[in-house]
Amino acid sequence: MKTAKLLLHCPDKPGILAEVTDFITVNKGNIIYLDQYVDHVENIFFMRIEWELQDFLIPQEKIYDYFSTLYAQKYSMVFRLYFSDMKPRMALFVSKMSHCLFDILARYTAGEWFVDIPLIISNHPDLEPVAQRFGIPFHLFPITKENKQEQERRELELLAQHGVTFIVLARYMQVISEQMIEAYPNRIINIHHSFLPAFVGAKPYHAAFERGVKIIGATSHYVTTELDAGPIIEQDIVRITHKDSVQDLVSKGKDLEKIVLSRAVQKHIERKILVYKNKTVIFN
């Protein structure tokens, strides 16, 4: 059953919820999901609503326009509209570590996610055999300080050719530069191997070991121009003890990283994330 998904936010005012649900119900849309939330600090209303299009009186191609004219202007809404048959297209960026890549490709192969993965991009050749094993084109873009801007420009062209809608950095060990972030705002998902904001930057497991923490974590977030400081999507942790070496942390952390990254990717694919300022609203 084909559905529309509408995500919006706007300054909170009485009646918005009733008006939007009424708009759908009156036009014979069957609402199958609704979640809303008001941020009382910022006074912002957030909403995610999904309805079946079968008997909906407004033609699919006109919904955006109607909603924009009738409600978005009135309430100063920022909104996005998706249809259930629009399949997101994901590009995977990897370097040398395979655990996140395998986890994502296993889900993809098993049909767990409604997504296409037209290509894998890497700055190292190491994981090409994995890509081949799953039959996904692998593009090597070695990065040096000198060629970085140019290589990213070529990557962006390739992404555009393949109609990529979002990027997943599956332990890609290169800082993404501004031009790419601007091309994919809140659409580049990274996994950082620490419990952010602790241990920003390089070698977080070494830093965690040094500090003697009793718990380590992993954090998936959207990439912004400030390193490891973008909106957090998902975090999880695992207990460690004084007996764990740095190598043990790396090993335990891998399981965290792949699960936390995959949870974030799944929520992105399911259109359950709204970003406001530097935070995420995650609908159930």
Interacting residue ranges for its own copies, rule: CB under 8 A: 14-15, 17-18, 21-22, 25, 30-41, 98-99, 102-103, 106-107, 109-110, 112, 130, 133-134, 195-199, 211-215, 217, 231-237, 239, 241-243, 245, 251, 254-255, 259, 262-263, 278-282, 284
Asked if 50 and 32 count as a contact pair (C-beta separation under 8 A), the reply is yes
Please state the φ and ψ torsions of residue 82, each to the nearest 5 degrees.
-125, 155
Q: Please give the Cα distance from 107 to 109 (Å, whole number).
A: 5
The neighbour count for residue 25, using CB atoms within 10 Å, is 12
Nearer to its own copies, 66 or 276 (CB): 276
Asked if 63 and 86 count as a contact pair (C-beta separation under 8 A), the reply is no
Nearest approach, Cβ of residue 106 and its own copies (Å): 3
Nearer to its own copies, 106 or 160 (CB): 106
Nearest approach, Cβ of residue 92 and its own copies (Å): 15
Asked if 11 and 58 count as a contact pair (C-beta separation under 8 A), the reply is no
Please state the φ and ψ torsions of residue 142, each to the nearest 5 degrees.
-60, 140
All residues at 6 or more sequence positions from 185 whose CB lies less than 8 Å from its CB, including other chains: none
Nearer to its own copies, 144 or 284 (CB): 284
The neighbour count for residue 145, using CB atoms within 10 Å, is 6
All residues at 6 or more sequence positions from 3 whose CB lies less than 8 Å from its CB, including other chains: 32, 50, 51, 52, 53, 83, 84
Tell me how far CA of residue 83 lies from CA of 52, 67, 270, 279, in angstroms. Answer: 10, 14, 11, 25
Q: Please give the Cα distance from 93 to 178 (Å, whole number).
A: 16
Nearer to its own copies, 145 or 242 (CB): 242
**228 tagged catalytic:** yes
Active site residue: 65, 228, 236, 244, which one?
Answer: 228
Nearer to its own copies, 9 or 187 (CB): 9
Nearest approach, Cβ of residue 250 and its own copies (Å): 10
Q: Work out the angle at residue 197's Cα, subtended by the Cα atoms of residues 231 and 105, and round it to the nearest 5 degrees.
A: 60
Asked if 264 and 187 count as a contact pair (C-beta separation under 8 A), the reply is no
Nearer to its own copies, 153 or 239 (CB): 239
Catalytic sites, residue numbers: 228
